[in-house]
Chains A and B, each alone.
Chain A
Amino acid sequence: MNEIIKLEKIEKHFGNVYANKDINLTIMRGDVHSIVGENGAGKSTLMNILYGMVSPDAGNIYYEGKKIEIKSPHDAIALGIGMVHQHFMLVPSFTVMENIVLGLPPRGEKIWRPERFRSEITAIMNDFGLQVDLDTRIENLSVGMKQRVEILKILYRGARVIILDEPTAILTPQETQELFSTIRLLIRNDHTVIFISHKLREVMEISDKISALRDGVLIDTVKREDVSAKDVAYMMIGRELEPLQRTGMDGEKEICLQVADLKAGDTTHAAIENISFCLHKGEILGVAGVEGNGQSTLVDTIVGALGTDSGNIVFDGEDITDCSIGERMEKGIGHIPEDRMTEGLALPLSAEKNLILGIQRKEPIRKKGRINWKEAERISEELIQAFSVKIKSRKESVANLSGGNMQKIVVARELNREPKLVIACQPTRGVDIGSSKYIRECLLEVKKKGGSVLLVSADLDEIQELSDRIIVMYDGRISGILEAQEATEVKLGELMFGRG
């Protein structure tokens, strides 16, 4: 075992904020080296420095003992460092093979013939167990498969060190296990993997070494055998992370939301059919499933963004099937949308303006047709405090915030209206551990106060941790409804693939 990459005294600041400060890190050949840390801790910046997307203000990088300068991703790839980003860089309408070959320097020929590379790519697929149909278009692949293509792409470019940025955030448990076996095969073939994550369980499962970053500083690098998950969490957030306090359901079971024989779908929404379930007061109902199996359609019909073809929705004893979004909000439905950037926030505007969205027509914000900015100030300051949003002032644009803090703004806004039903879609996606825990506690608080939560999440841990009952969706239908106790990961996984 010898060192392959050494980072020495790396520093980078944006404005007067240090993203990375005095970072010394050694990566050994053949290791799976996890980099953990909360959002904003500086993980991505560090990896972007290594991958040549960001240039450091100070510090040295050594590759196999030689001091090097990485000025662009091109340099990084030439050295054998490849990165799979959280958001895929693939052309949807191209085939797998075209995507893999795209951007390679021409080999002395004028016409682009991806066919010539087929045998070479097939060899790599076989070596690493990364089977993909080379002639399928990217748009027809599942998320897990797309990730595979990304890995193939960098392997084909000769990467020996592979950086995976939050690779499991979007995968099902089964897909995660497949990714892990790929990682193990990579290691066996003398590759090195840098694994960026904040999912502790996965980090503990796959890593050889773990480095934790906090506020731009490298806290420590440890061997996996030497630590427990609790220790790693402590390194990341600088304090103990207590487990969530869950309460069972109370005896009374009043119905909050009743969905009967729902059918819906249009060109932008996957079709759903035969959807019937009820949600009680004081209950958290989880909706699990691989993304794209109708969960978004279901949510949009309940919040009122999409009409139904048949069936009805009864909320709090009232048929709301034909109500507008605004009317449903008025009746007490809160919505934490899946995509906070496009559906949840008016990005360039201030936190204050975003926090009063939805209550602008109500007392005390509305006063004689005008907006009472004094009240808006009070409410937004209160919410920023209560949700400990990291922000310079309430006037700062939310576009400057990290994902976790953006999400806190959305959650704060929705819960501030004290809705009877909260529809939470991927509430903690891309959100750091501390904020995730806080958001989950908020949802449990809703339940405690007798409200109901419909929790749609691709994160099974989250679903299992919070839900009283779990609906699994597959191909636009409900493939199973389970009590929390009987919902094992295997069982959920099977239902998610329609093999219930």
Chain B
Amino acid sequence: MKKKKIISTVTIAAFVAVCALGISIIMLLIAHKDIGLAFSKLIQGAVGNKMNFARTIRMMAPLIMMALTFSVAFRGQMFNAGGQGQFYLGAVSATAVSLMFPALPAWLLLILGIIAGMVGGMLWALIPAVLKVRFRCSEVVTTLMFNYIAVYFTEFLVRVPFYVPGAVGESGSTANIPDGVSLTTLIKGSELTTEILFALAATAMVWYWSKWMVSGYETEIVGVNPVAARYTGVPVKSRQLLAMGISGAIAGAGGALEIIGVFHRFVIDFAPSVGFDGIVISLMAGNSFPLIPVAAFFLSCLQSGAKTMEMFGKVPRSLVDVMIGIIIVVVTVKRLPFAGRGRKQKKA
């Protein structure tokens, strides 16, 4: 039963990829581009050599975190469209902790930074969650709007309390966090750090939670049928808050890890599409936790390959954005021809 489900999810993902590629080829033809060159550069850029491959894997990390963000909330029937904002809040919290207490030992700042990131992201997610369970505000709207607030709020932080005079400050960046607050580089000369291991660990933890923990089980019931959950004594609201809280904490940790692992300073709106990409990956993975890294790998191949394709394949980057757009459309098509028709109702 379960195996079947995974196989069908994989087939769907493959179908989505093929469709997106097919439509992209047509677009390349219309634009009179060299298809062979473009795609060879795309593949080369994604997995062609050690450095490019490192870049692809490095880009996976935040994508995994953001996909988990969406999937965990979705388990509890909460549509968290605000991963982006929670990510920034986490990133800025981690930066702030490091900048405010530079005297602390680096290992401690690292831990505190991640914790601060989780707390920041969680709080940012819990406000809409409380509004939802208490006042029935649609969390889709509030989380989405909170993304804007997060962008401008972090900009305010960068420009006022953490302003550094000079070019760095004017460009919209904080000062660098202390040197020691960083993650171990896995491939020398690349940006690939242990961040990816954190992301995989987070996947495993979330998967464990959903499968083995009582609260994970209860959240699943709430997500599937909140009425039945309520009638069987499951505290529906607190489970929804929990799902949103975990979701926001993951996004916040994702932001903190990006700062500590790669950027070492907070730049205004430094990853404008991760939240959205996370939703796409989550949908591609059919909200199945173990499949999220696989889907994230696919998308990061595209994004990483796009850089090379743009530079050497004479194809604008925007084409890749169009491809991602196509993926979203194909993913949201619920009834794929081979994915089985709607369940047959057996009745006497």
Chain A residues within CB distance 8 Å of chain B: 14-15, 17, 19, 37-45, 303, 305, 324-326, 328-330, 335, 337, 342-350, 353, 357-358, 360-361, 366, 369-371, 373, 393, 395-397, 399-403, 432
Instruction: State the CA gap A324–B230 with chains docked (Å).
Output: 10
Pick from A303, A358, A369: contact of B214, CB under 8 Å: A369
8 interchain residue pairs of minimum CB distance? A326-B233, A346-B224, A39-B348, A358-B232, A329-B233, A44-B347, A346-B225, A43-B348
Given known contacts A39-B348, A41-B348, A42-B348, A342 and B227 CB-to-CB distance under 8 angstroms: yes
Contact B348–A345 (Cβ < 8 Å): no
Residues of B near A370 (CB, < 8 A) are 212-214
Given known contacts A369-B213, A371-B213, A40 and B348 CB-to-CB distance under 8 angstroms: yes
Contact B225–A342 (Cβ < 8 Å): yes
Residue of A nearest to B236 (CB): A325
Given contacts A44-B348, A326-B235, 17 further A-B contacts (CB under 8 A): A15-B344, A39-B348, A41-B348, A42-B348, A305-B231, A325-B233, A330-B233, A342-B225, A346-B225, A346-B228, A349-B220, A353-B221, A360-B217, A369-B213, A370-B214, A401-B346, A402-B348
Instruction: State the CA gap A343–B227 with chains docked (Å).
Output: 5
Instruction: State the CA gap A397–B50 with chains docked (Å).
Output: 45
Contact B229–A346 (Cβ < 8 Å): yes
Instruction: State the CA gap A346–B75 with chains docked (Å).
Output: 13
Residues of B near A343 (CB, < 8 A) are 227-228, 231
Residues of B near A361 (CB, < 8 A) are 214
Contact B347–A366 (Cβ < 8 Å): no
Pick from B218, B224, B347: contact of A349, CB under 8 Å: B224
Residue of A nearest to B225 (CB): A346
Residues of A near B213 (CB, < 8 A) are 369-371
Instruction: State the CA gap A305–B346 with chains docked (Å).
Output: 31
Contact B348–A38 (Cβ < 8 Å): yes
Residue of A nearest to B218 (CB): A360
Residue of B nearest to A19 (CB): B346
Instruction: State the CA gap A337–B231 with chains docked (Å).
Output: 8
Residue of A nearest to B231 (CB): A343
B13, chain A: closest CB distance, angstroms: 21
Pick from B212, B225, B228, B343: contact of A371, CB under 8 Å: B212
B1 at the interface (CB under 8 A from A): yes
Contact A353–B217 (Cβ < 8 Å): yes
Residues of B near A328 (CB, < 8 A) are 233
Instruction: State the CA gap A400–B344 with chains docked (Å).
Output: 8
Per-residue interface assignment for chain B, residues 331 to 348, with 1 indicating a CB less than 8 Å from any chain A CB and 0 otherwise: 000000000000110111
A-B contact pairs, 26 of them (CB 8 A): A14-B344, A14-B346, A37-B348, A38-B348, A39-B348, A40-B346, A42-B348, A44-B347, A303-B231, A328-B233, A337-B231, A342-B225, A343-B228, A343-B231, A346-B221, A349-B221, A349-B224, A353-B220, A357-B234, A358-B232, A358-B233, A361-B214, A370-B212, A371-B214, A402-B347, A432-B348
Instruction: State the CA gap A400–B346 with chains docked (Å).
Output: 7
Contact A345–B1 (Cβ < 8 Å): no
Residues of B near A358 (CB, < 8 A) are 232-233
Instruction: State the CA gap A281–B277 with chains docked (Å).
Output: 59
Residues of B near A14 (CB, < 8 A) are 344, 346
A121, chain B: closest CB distance, angstroms: 32
B134 at the interface (CB under 8 A from A): no
Residues of A near B231 (CB, < 8 A) are 303, 305, 325, 335, 337, 343-344
Residues of A near B343 (CB, < 8 A) are 399-400
Residues of B near A325 (CB, < 8 A) are 230-233
Residue of B nearest to A392 (CB): B1
B2 at the interface (CB under 8 A from A): yes
Contact B346–A402 (Cβ < 8 Å): yes
Instruction: State the CA gap A353–B232 with chains docked (Å).
Output: 13
Residues of B near A40 (CB, < 8 A) are 346-348
Chain B residues within CB distance 8 Å of chain A: 1-2, 212-214, 217-218, 220-221, 224-225, 227-235, 343-344, 346-348
B77, chain A: closest CB distance, angstroms: 11
Instruction: State the CA gap A344–B232 with chains docked (Å).
Output: 8
Contact B214–A329 (Cβ < 8 Å): no
B250, chain A: closest CB distance, angstroms: 20
Q: Select the residue from B213, B214, B232 with max chain A CB neighbours within 10 A.
A: B232
Residue of B nearest to A327 (CB): B233
Instruction: State the CA gap A328–B230 with chains docked (Å).
Output: 12
Residues of B near A373 (CB, < 8 A) are 212
Instruction: State the CA gap A100–B202 with chains docked (Å).
Output: 59
Residues of A near B1 (CB, < 8 A) are 350, 393, 395-397
Contact A344–B228 (Cβ < 8 Å): yes
Contact B228–A345 (Cβ < 8 Å): yes
Instruction: State the CA gap A231–B285 with chains docked (Å).
Output: 55
Given known contacts A14-B344, A358-B233, A400-B343, A347 and B214 CB-to-CB distance under 8 angstroms: no
Instruction: State the CA gap A328–B231 with chains docked (Å).
Output: 11
B82, chain A: closest CB distance, angstroms: 26
B138, chain A: closest CB distance, angstroms: 20
Contact A342–B228 (Cβ < 8 Å): yes
Residue of B nearest to A196 (CB): B348
A454, chain B: closest CB distance, angstroms: 15
B246, chain A: closest CB distance, angstroms: 15
Pick from B2, B221, B229: contact of A395, CB under 8 Å: B2
Contact A357–B221 (Cβ < 8 Å): yes
Given known contacts A45-B347, A358-B233, A402-B348, A366 and B214 CB-to-CB distance under 8 angstroms: yes
Residues of A near B227 (CB, < 8 A) are 342-343
Residues of A near B229 (CB, < 8 A) are 346
Contact B214–A360 (Cβ < 8 Å): yes
Residues of A near B346 (CB, < 8 A) are 14, 17, 19, 40, 400-402
Residues of B near A19 (CB, < 8 A) are 346
Instruction: State the CA gap A370–B217 with chains docked (Å).
Output: 9
Contact B347–A348 (Cβ < 8 Å): no
B343, chain A: closest CB distance, angstroms: 6
A51, chain B: closest CB distance, angstroms: 13
Residue of B nearest to A339 (CB): B227
Residue of A nearest to B235 (CB): A326
Contact B217–A348 (Cβ < 8 Å): no
Contact B347–A371 (Cβ < 8 Å): no
B222, chain A: closest CB distance, angstroms: 9
B284, chain A: closest CB distance, angstroms: 20
Q: Select the residue from B1, B230, B231 with max chain A CB neighbours within 10 A.
A: B231
Contact B217–A345 (Cβ < 8 Å): no
Residues of A near B217 (CB, < 8 A) are 353, 360, 371
Instruction: State the CA gap A369–B214 with chains docked (Å).
Output: 6
Residues of B near A305 (CB, < 8 A) are 230-231
Residues of A near B2 (CB, < 8 A) are 395
Residues of A near B212 (CB, < 8 A) are 370-371, 373
Residue of B nearest to A404 (CB): B348
Instruction: State the CA gap A326–B344 with chains docked (Å).
Output: 35
Residues of B near A347 (CB, < 8 A) are 224-225
B224, chain A: closest CB distance, angstroms: 4
B94, chain A: closest CB distance, angstroms: 29
Instruction: State the CA gap A357–B222 with chains docked (Å).
Output: 11
Residues of B near A432 (CB, < 8 A) are 348
Residues of B near A346 (CB, < 8 A) are 220-221, 224-225, 228-229
Q: Select the residue from B1, B233, B234, B348 with max chain A CB neighbours within 10 A.
A: B348
Instruction: State the CA gap A343–B236 with chains docked (Å).
Output: 13
Instruction: State the CA gap A361–B234 with chains docked (Å).
Output: 10
Instruction: State the CA gap A15–B340 with chains docked (Å).
Output: 13
Instruction: State the CA gap A360–B221 with chains docked (Å).
Output: 11
